[in-house]
Structure 1
């Protein structure tokens, strides 16, 4: 029913839109919600997404294709808590078509899970001044990273008036999800920094409506025959 690309499997995520008058800072905001479209022009891939990030709560969530696939990242808290990645996608077998299933991949001491930002960190970017993107007056920032004979160029546009993120272009390695060398573009819209309902990060049983995050199919283990849904919330 839905054709999910490799970007979904890799757990991407990404985004932007402002309410009232939040201003993007050099450091990433600790809480935000944003929608957008991720594009790989050479592969002719277009992925609409919506994301919620709450650093203080230790969670992030990214939905793809209108919620056909969902990912949740729970940040590790240290000690024996290394965090976890969750993926909720339709899966088919010989008996059931497009069964909504939950998969879990735990973090480790060497690779602790963190929240997944969908905006770039501008701490290493240079301010190139005023620019225009598709008729929008913007502030343009750029970072060039040379590794061996491969040069990656990252260019970010912010609306000069509203300070809304507008466009992010990566020619090289994807700095958001760490994917392969390619050209990536992200068009952002609907950015805000409103409070986020904690239930947006809950994986629940469709019948009992109680948190069942521990019942996800752990990566490389036996499939658990259970339906899961993400409670729908609209910001």
Structure 2
């Protein structure tokens, strides 16, 4: 009789259990997409997990990168990461790394589901025409208010998780992400998913420096791993300290440093995510990594006015006459890479660059010319100093009979100033200027071969350009119409690598950027508008 009563009480308790209690099983296969708008990341993923067996698999970017978590391998588990590796002379070689866990960082499967104990049921709802349930989680860490919204089906399968964080210190949102769960199965996955092919050939360390373990650099670890936000992002703090040391960065206050770290964090995420993609070029953090999007935009100061030269240039050579490779830097016609700093004067650097090259070809002397003179003195032609301009308007100023001074007597100041061209030493005058045939990459190459370095405008608005490191730059989001262009640079040569044709471009963001200040830009379909607005001049 007593046993019957106990069983009845147990059954009654089970029936009274809250049907909205959120919980996840230990086994699942989930595919979906994670988006981080502030870092310009959208990344498809597939997660195959058997958490009880300490095994998991993550396929990122449709399998371009694979992470296999084997918590049962070794004393503290082993993470096997297969990733496309690009070195100086090889591109996208799929390479396996076996990375052992440690007592403080054991390797365990990385969940892609949020901690269910943190969520509170709010209401039933319709989502994407499905009967669903809405859950929320809100809490505060230091100055950060964290707000999560989770929608699941009535049988407790996740549909979408969104996060929006607000930092009271800055009075603005500090982070946002959305995880969309497209296909969810809670069946136990087959053990074959966790087998590492050619396990013995996996390397045991990465080719470059670094102290952090890839476990901690997983975006899901950062967003859903155990511990506080500071604990989950300790690797970012370590990277930020290294960044400050490398580039001699110091900040005027703790608030200013926190703001710079915030920008660094999003740029760090972007660079790490790009490393998971098969690409013709690589990216890495550089001296710009603590800048905001608005500050980076200020450095892109090309302003298209629609002005074109009234002069027509007739080439003395045809496309069939030019060599496969030209590099005017090797011929001595290009001055060292300069740094425009946080001033939208890129247009002046592109213009001085083509004039320096033309003067070298004419006289045999390489003379650095004054960008500051263009910044200060060509307002009457429509240029706006540190707020933008273009080569054509700079040339129009010179056609008034003005002389561009030498840089030695009129140095760059990184800001607007008073015009002093009449008290500086004359460097060069021009008699005419010309435009490259718009959108014609072949004509651009002919002009580079025949006339030397050419000032060109490009679309540099993408974060991939800001953190370009090496390889042939191909950005699928790049535009090539006049309205897409926002940055003026210098085309100093052209060539090809493994069939990828490129133009050699000198930037004005210092040698800390790119490949010692240079980038190889693909010529495919007038990539990023490299041939949309090119110009050069006859020097006197």
* TM surpasses 0.5: yes
Tell me, in whole angstroms, the C-alpha distance in 2 between the residues paired with 1:148 and 1:93.
42
Greater RCO (Cα-Cα under 8 Å, separation 6 or more): 1
Tell me, in whole angstroms, the C-alpha distance in 2 between the residues paired with 1:76 and 1:147.
34
- Which residue, out of 105, 108, 113, partners 2:107? 113
Tell me, in whole angstroms, the C-alpha distance in 1 between the residues paired with 2:68 and 2:197.
13
Runs of at least 4 residues off by over 6 Å: none
Maintained 8 Å contact 2:35/2:177? yes
The equivalent residue for 1:165 is 158
Extract unaligned runs of 5+ from structure 1.
Answer: 1-22, 174-180, 206-211, 223-235
Q: Secondary structure at the match of 1:167?
A: strand
Tell me, in whole angstroms, the C-alpha distance in 2 between the residues paired with 1:83 and 1:182.
32
The equivalent residue for 1:151 is 145
- Which residue, out of 218, 221, 235, partners 2:204? 218
Q: Secondary structure at the match of 2:77?
A: strand
Tell me, in whole angstroms, the C-alpha distance in 2 between the residues paired with 1:99 and 1:216.
13
1:220 is displaced (CA, Å) by 4.7
User: Over residues 74-123 of structure 1, what are the superposed CA-to-partner deviations in whole Å (9 max), with x where a residue is unaligned?
Assistant: 2258xx71112221111122443211101233211122222111111211
**Which protein has the bigger helix share?**
2
* Structure (1 or 2) with the larger CA radius of gyration: 2
Q: Cα RMSD over matched residues?
A: 2.5
1:171 is displaced (CA, Å) by 2.0
The equivalent residue for 1:186 is 179
Tell me, in whole angstroms, the C-alpha distance in 2 between the residues paired with 1:163 and 1:126.
14
User: Over residues 176-229 of structure 1, what are the superposed CA-to-partner deviations in whole Å (9 max), with x where a residue is unaligned?
Assistant: xxxxx5211011121112232212111212xxxxxx1x542223579xxxxxxx
The equivalent residue for 1:32 is 28
Tell me, in whole angstroms, the C-alpha distance in 2 between the residues paired with 1:157 and 1:149.
27
1:134 is displaced (CA, Å) by 4.0
Q: Secondary structure at the match of 1:82?
A: coil
Whether 2:66 is the aligned partner of 1:70: answer yes
The equivalent residue for 1:4 is none
Q: Which range is displaced more, 31-40 or 96-105?
A: 96-105
Whether 2:86 is the aligned partner of 1:85: answer no
Question: TM-score scaled to structure 1, two decimals?
Answer: 0.69
> How many residue pairs align between the two structures?
183
Tell me, in whole angstroms, the C-alpha distance in 2 between the residues paired with 1:157 and 1:102.
36
Q: Secondary structure at the match of 1:48?
A: strand
Q: Secondary structure at the match of 2:193?
A: helix
Tell me, in whole angstroms, the C-alpha distance in 2 between the residues paired with 1:39 and 1:141.
20
Maintained 8 Å contact 1:89/1:101? yes
Tell me, in whole angstroms, the C-alpha distance in 2 between the residues paired with 1:36 and 1:43.
18
**Which protein has the bigger strand share?**
1
